Chains A and B, each alone.
Chain A
Amino acid sequence: MIIQGKCHTFGNDIDTDAIIPARYLNTSDPEELARHCMEDADPTFAGRVQKGEIIVAGKNFGCGSSREHAPVAIKAAGVAAVIAASFARIFYRNAINIGLPIFESPAAAAGIAAGDEVKIDAEKGEIVNLTKGETYQAAPFPPFMQELIAAGGLMPYVARKVKAHV
């Protein structure tokens, strides 16, 4: 899979309350969540982000609550991928489970500026900054997670397993 788009940048420790504030959690409708995506980190983001664009952030992206509404809001806002120096573990799990592509690369997080055009080769984990002419390497996914991602997330994977049992 090749993902290419313009980048929006954020700092370190962007927590799930900033990604989708709890005041909007009385619904789990993706479209509604998308309207408030990243609101407490950047209130203008949801209005500006275009389909296929990329979020780039510092360390510990998605720390805090287990709300899957966070990656759901990002995905529903049209964001094609998130690149971060590191991810908090529940966000990491949730993103893989719902099929939001994520890439861990401190070099990419440091090198990419807001507005840069970036091309990601998801299989190789190769991130090319077309604006700056730089290439960064993301940590590869372990084979089991590649299997999950290839299945389209956890539930399609579980569905196959459940069917196999019956």
Chain B
Amino acid sequence: MGMTITEKILAAHAGLDHVEPGQLINARIDLALGNDITAPLAIKEFKKLGLKKVFDPERVVLVPDHFTPAKDIKSAEQAKILRDFAREQGLAHYFEIGRMGIEHCLLPEAGLVGPGDLVIGADSHTCTYGALGAFATGVGSTDLAAAMATGELWFKVPETILFRYHGKLKPWVGGKDLILYTIGQIGVDGARYMAMEFTGEAIKELSMDGRFTMANMAIEAGAKNGIFPVDEKTIAYIRGRLQRDYRIYQSDPDARYAREIDIDAGSIEPQVALPHLPENARSVREIGEIKIDQVVIGSCTNGRLEDLRVAAEILKGQKVHPEVRLIVIPGTQKIYAEALAEGLISIFIEAGAAVSTPTCGPCLGGHMGILAQGERALATTNRNFVGRMGHPESEVYLAGPAVAAASAVKGRIAAPEEVVK
């Protein structure tokens, strides 16, 4: 019986020839990640073990990105726990403010993840790296502590849902629209405890940035991981970044899937997910007149260069609506620098946007753009739960960068064609 990519990576890291969905395995970890919210708890647990060293200082990555640059004294104390631990352990990959980025934009960019890797992160959106053909999944702080100590962790081998995206994408449709549409179809627990394998001609055409966006939101369907087959785009992306060997796994033709879902991607229009669940996806045209107070373009979902290019294409020569605050947050310092060099940042500033140093910031209601009671935001982030961006009686709508930029201009949720003809 054949195996899926996910099964093959798990089998290889568990030292097994074959694994089956449902099987509990102990697997070797290639990389373990923590941030300023989850790592302090993990470090506390790690220290209780009385161990002197993490399993491998090259393979433990710490990124202070959620409440940084520190938004208050408590956050500063949390970030300091990471910094002190990184120094004391001699971690090769600790990323300081000014040289960092949002973890899930940063790790692939820094060449820390490659095809066939097994990555765990104490952050649910660790699933982002599936875009590179890696098995990557979010865990909690205690799991991170165990992984830092032993370089291993237990896993239940997930079943896989195979998605095939057919057709050619319409203008302004990107990875975000595909994944919001998909979650709209299967629901926020539609892939609970499963792997989502994304294939089809529309996926082959999709850029790496678009693939990162899709893999990023696999967790929003409850999935354990999202994964893409490796192709020439993947190889082009890792060239010059990844400094070590990697292995490409492909799903066998006779691999077993829990479900196979065919999606006519050519008919998908730009999507918007209504409050308060990512599954409330609609075509932007269907949602009617919805005024907004704030637009956020950024996050580990859509804070990459291509996202900023799309937004700039729409915002060029336009002004942000007088009653809207537009906040643009490049995902990493490198993306920020590239956007600056390409003139994107001046387009945003001339349009009347606030541009921030890389941070999670408003995505999780942390800082840099919290909503007041009754306010409404449209964001390129991944979650629109109650209170996610601020007051429990505020609202978040999710969309891709094209709809976000158009909406910032119009002052209401708008289709890109309403601004750019």
Contacts and interface: CB of A to CB of B under 8 A. Distances in A.
Interface in B104-154: 121-124, 126, 138-143, 145-146, 149-150, 154
B87 interface: no
A69 B140 CA distance: 9
Which of B24, B140, B143, B222: most chain A Cβ within 10 A?
Answer: B140
A155 B388 CA distance: 31
Given A40-B386, A162-B49, A93 B143 contact: yes
Contacts of B141: 68, 94
B124 A65 contact: yes
A27 B79 CA distance: 11
Interface string B318-357: 0000000000000000000000000000000000000000
A94 B387 CA distance: 23
Contact of B143 (A25, A67, A97): A97
Interface in B247-299: 277
Interface stretch (B36-44, B163-171, B305-313): B36-44
B51 interface: yes
Contacts of B138: 66, 90
Chain B at the A interface: SS class: loop
Nearest to A70: B140
Contacts of A68: 38, 41, 122, 140-142
Interface stretch (B90-98, B186-194, B399-407): B186-194
Nearest to B194: A89
B375 interface: no
Given A89-B224, A155-B49, A158-B146, A63 B189 contact: yes
Contacts of B189: 13, 59-60, 63, 86, 88
B51 A26 contact: no
A130 B219 CA distance: 37
A67 B40 CA distance: 11
A22 interface: yes
A71 B364 CA distance: 18
Contacts, number: 140
A18 B142 contact: no
Given A15-B385, A17-B386, A26-B67, A94 B142 contact: yes
A17 B146 contact: no
A25 B40 CA distance: 11
Interface string A100-126: 000000000000000000000000000
A21 B41 CA distance: 17
B188 A60 contact: yes
A72 B388 CA distance: 19
A67 B145 contact: no
Contacts of A162: 49, 51, 149-150
Contacts of A67: 37-38, 140
B387 A40 contact: yes
B301 to A, nearest CB: 13
Contact of B385 (A27, A64, A71): A64
Given A18-B387, A158-B146, A162-B49, A28 B40 contact: yes
20 contacts: A15-B385, A18-B385, A22-B66, A25-B66, A25-B364, A26-B72, A41-B386, A60-B192, A63-B188, A63-B189, A64-B124, A64-B385, A66-B123, A94-B141, A97-B143, A144-B24, A144-B154, A155-B145, A158-B149, A162-B150
Given A23-B365, A60-B188, 9 more contacts: A21-B387, A26-B71, A26-B72, A65-B124, A89-B192, A97-B140, A98-B142, A144-B154, A153-B142
Give the 4 A-B residue pairs with the shortest CB-CB distance, closest first: A94-B140, A26-B74, A68-B140, A97-B142
Interface of A: 13, 15, 17-18, 21-23, 25-28, 39-41, 43, 59-60, 63-69, 71-72, 86, 88-90, 93-94, 97-98, 142, 144, 153-155, 158-159, 161-162
